[in-house]
């Protein structure tokens, strides 16, 4: 026949990728191993030296086995969806399998409360320095306490050089 060529490229002849015997064997081995570990932990729990930790592991291992099986089926589904997207013609938009509501990427306006507006006229803006003499005296007291504490720490560390004179040479 003219105009019809035999499929020679690998993409036309490939078998479904999710039927990989090695991957299936890996999932089966992982699930059986997890179930065996669960059984072993259950036996340890029932023994005279068993603890609640053994019971916890005995209940967790079957969940790990179920997750291995779930992950395999999820992998197969995602892989087949990817193959369908590649096989679809480029000009036809693929139909979404399920209508999923997209998660918002930013917080919509009006959900959060308004932040208070702070007006700053100059960088050192704050309460007027002379507006409250009691506040000014208290701040001076706190500054003196802080300076005294720093001085004590420096002396305790042996770094106080005010009483000794060092030469530069």
Tens-place pLDDT, residues 11-38: 445 555 656 888 999 999 999 999 999 9
Q: Is residue 142 part of a domain?
A: yes
Domain of 142 in residue numbering reads as 131-159
* Same-domain status, 135 and 81: no
> Domain ends where: 87, 122, 146?
87
Is 64 a member of any domain? yes
- pLDDT at position 99 is 64
Residue 65 near residue 38, CB atoms below 8 Å:
yes
Dihedrals phi, psi of 13, to nearest 5 degrees: -105, -5
Report which of 37, 19, 24 is spatially closest to residue 69, judged by C-alpha positions. Answer: 24
How many degrees, rounded to 5, is the angle at CA 20 between CA 17 and CA 26? Answer: 135
**Are both 82 and 135 inside the same structural domain?**
no
pLDDT at position 159 is 85
Q: Please check whether residues 21 and 81 belong to one and the same domain.
A: yes
Q: Which residue among 34, 69, 87 closes a domain?
A: 87
Q: Is there a domain that residue 98 lies in?
A: no
The residue whose two tokens read 């967790």 is 60
Please choose, from the candidates 55, 27, 29, 25, the residue with its C-alpha nearest in 3D space to the C-alpha of residue 40. Answer: 55
The predicted structure's pLDDT at residue 90 = 59
Give 74-119 pLDDT, tens digit per residue.
Answer: 998 988 888 888 877 655 555 666 666 777 778 888 888 888 887 7
Q: Which residues of 100-122 are buried (b: 16+ CB within 10 A; e: fewer)?
A: eeeeeeeeeeeeeeeeeeeeeee
Asked whether residue 99 is assigned to any structural domain, the reply reads: no
Whether residue 27 is found in the same domain as residue 82: yes
Average per-residue pLDDT for the chain = 80
* pLDDT at position 67: 97
Q: Where are the beta strands (DSSP E) in 26-81?
A: none
Residues 21 and 74 grouped into a single domain: yes
CB atoms within 10 A of CB 24: 13
pTM above 0.75, yes or no: no
Considering 33, 60, 87, which residue would you say is the last residue of a domain? 87
- Residue 11: burial class (beta carbons within 10 Å; 0-12, 13-18, 19+): exposed
102, part of any domain? no
136 and 77 within one domain: no
Which among 31, 105, 37 has a CA at the least distance from the CA of 68? Answer: 31
How many structural domains comprise the chain?
2
């Amino acid at each position: 026949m003219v105009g019809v060529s035999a499929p020679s490229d690998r993409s036309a002849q490939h078998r479904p990728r999710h039927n990989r015997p090695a991957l299936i064997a890996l999932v089966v081995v992982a699930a059986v191993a997890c179930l065996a570990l669960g059984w072993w932990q259950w036996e340890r729990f029932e023994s005279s030296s068993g603890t609640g930790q053994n019971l916890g592991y005995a209940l967790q291992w079957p969940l790990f086995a179920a997750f291995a099986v779930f992950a395999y089926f999820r992998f197969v589904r995602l892989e087949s969806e990817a193959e369908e997207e590649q096989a679809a013609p480029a000009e036809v938009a693929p139909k979404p399998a399920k209508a999923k509501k997209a998660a918002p990427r930013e917080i919509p306006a009006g959900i959060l409360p308004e932040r208070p507006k702070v007006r700053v006229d100059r960088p050192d803006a704050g309460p007027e320095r002379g507006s409250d003499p009691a506040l000014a005296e208290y701040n001076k007291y706190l500054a003196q306490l802080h300076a005294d504490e720093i001085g004590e720490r420096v002396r305790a560390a042996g770094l106080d050089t005010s009483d000794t004179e060092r030469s530069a040479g």
